[in-house]
Homo-oligomer: A and B are copies of this chain.
Amino acid sequence: VVALPTLSAFEAANAVGLAAFALVGSLTAVEAELDLLGVAVAGVATALGGGITRDALVGRTPAALTAEMDVLIALADVVLAVVVASLGRRDLSASPVVTVPDAVGLAAFAATGALVGAEAGLSAFGVVTLATLTGVGGSVIRDVLLQEVPFVLHEDFYATCAVVGGVAFWAATAAGLSASLGAGACAATTLGLRLAALRRDWALPTVDAIGKR
């Protein structure tokens, strides 16, 4: 067996995440009854929005606008979403076929955010923020465009996983590990937390709930 020479585990996770994000984003727009362009924009924005935000904040030309492959993956998944949706299967976004790859994407994107932030010389807080924004930025942009309160702000243990993953990156590198190992720790932490949250329906409390205790 000959291994694919340039496809690291990291790039594979990134591709899985892009595909899952594009699929979820497109299906959300189909449910909102947007036209084909709207569906394509929502899918591509969900997949690429986090990375573009990351690069804009640290002053890099967005990788998504200079590479071709990311976009082809996103567009292929938009087409897939349209086919799936026109066959009547719109409930797919809550199925493990989508939520598990979506968790992989969150983990991969959080890890790239932490890596880019560390390279740009950000503070510990900056690294955690960039990990989180890279992981959830795409879906926030999509929800703002579709006039919904970003789902990551609503009683869900989603962005929190990326925050903790960013802290794991910082802890690992502060302990002397390399940035690559830190990125691995970030991805593993984010993925593990997200999968556990999906399985156990974790949610953060609201302040109302705290007040009532």
Chain A residues at the B interface, C-beta cutoff of 8 Å: 29-30, 32-39, 41-42, 52, 56-62, 64-68, 71, 82, 85-88, 117, 120-126, 129-130, 140, 144-150, 152-156, 159-160, 163, 203-208, 210-211
Contact indicator B145/A147 (Cβ below 8 Å): no
Knowing A57-B56, A65-B129, A88-B211 are in contact, say whether A35-B147 is a contact too (CB < 8 A).
no
Residues of B within 8 A of A163 (CB): 37
Q: Whose C-beta in chain B lies nearest to the C-beta of A136?
A: B41
Contact indicator B66/A35 (Cβ below 8 Å): no
Complex Cα–Cα for A205 and B155 (A): 35
Complex Cα–Cα for A129 and B121 (A): 28
Interface SS, A side: helix
Knowing A41-B159, A159-B37 are in contact, say whether A125-B65 is a contact too (CB < 8 A).
yes
Complex Cα–Cα for A39 and B208 (A): 12
Top 7 nearest A-B pairs by Cβ distance? A65-B126, A38-B153, A86-B211, A35-B204, A71-B125, A36-B204, A35-B155
